[in-house]
């Protein structure tokens, strides 16, 4: 028996097995790898969360969804609506009443709408 023949036969057997083992373990090892720059930009996620918070705050302040869109033109309308809808469901589920916003455009519109009605009522009474 030649010593070189045994090494060649062993090398031919172990090399394919090693390749198979590497081929099966490499995806598992690289799948858990966190490569910088390949994930979503954290600023985008932050903007989405801020827009959801704006929507929730608008709902709690009893503002209409259209007013929220108008007051926050840079925020995503879809995220504002998602936050508004989540807060609406939460408030209905827990029977929470909203608090009207002070000094907002919606509040001043409500005051203006009530002022002519009271003026018209006093004019009729005289």
User: d(Cα 5, Cα 95) in Å, to the nearest integer?
Assistant: 84
Q: Is the pLDDT of residue 15 over 50?
A: yes
Share of the chain above pLDDT 70, in %: 61
User: Cα angle vertex 101, ends 58, 88, to 5°?
Assistant: 35
pLDDT digits (tens, 9 = 90+) for 26-43: 777 766 666 666 677 788
> How far separated are the first and last CA of the chain, in Å rounded?
127
In the block, tokens 């029977």 appear at 95
| Dihedral in degrees, nearest 10, Cα atoms 69, 51, 45, 79 | -60
The two structure tokens encoding residue 49: 């969360």
pTM to 2 decimal places: 0.52
pLDDT digits (tens, 9 = 90+) for 80-121: 999 999 999 999 999 988 888 776 554 444 444 444 444 444
Residue 99: per-residue pLDDT: 85
């Amino acid at each position: 028996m030649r010593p070189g023949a045994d090494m060649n036969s062993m090398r031919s057997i172990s090399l394919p097995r090693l390749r198979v083992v590497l081929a099966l373990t490499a995806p598992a090892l690289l799948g858990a790898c966190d490569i910088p720059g390949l994930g979503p930009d954290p600023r985008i996620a932050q903007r989405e969360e801020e827009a959801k918070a704006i929507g929730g705050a608008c709902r709690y302040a009893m503002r209409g969804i259209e007013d929220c869109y108008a007051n926050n033109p840079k925020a995503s309308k879809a995220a504002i609506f998602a936050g508004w809808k989540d807060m609406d469901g939460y408030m209905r589920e827990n029977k929470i009443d909203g608090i009207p916003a002070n000094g907002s455009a919606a509040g001043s519109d409500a005051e203006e709408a009530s002022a002519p009605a009271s003026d018209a009522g006093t004019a009729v009474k005289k």
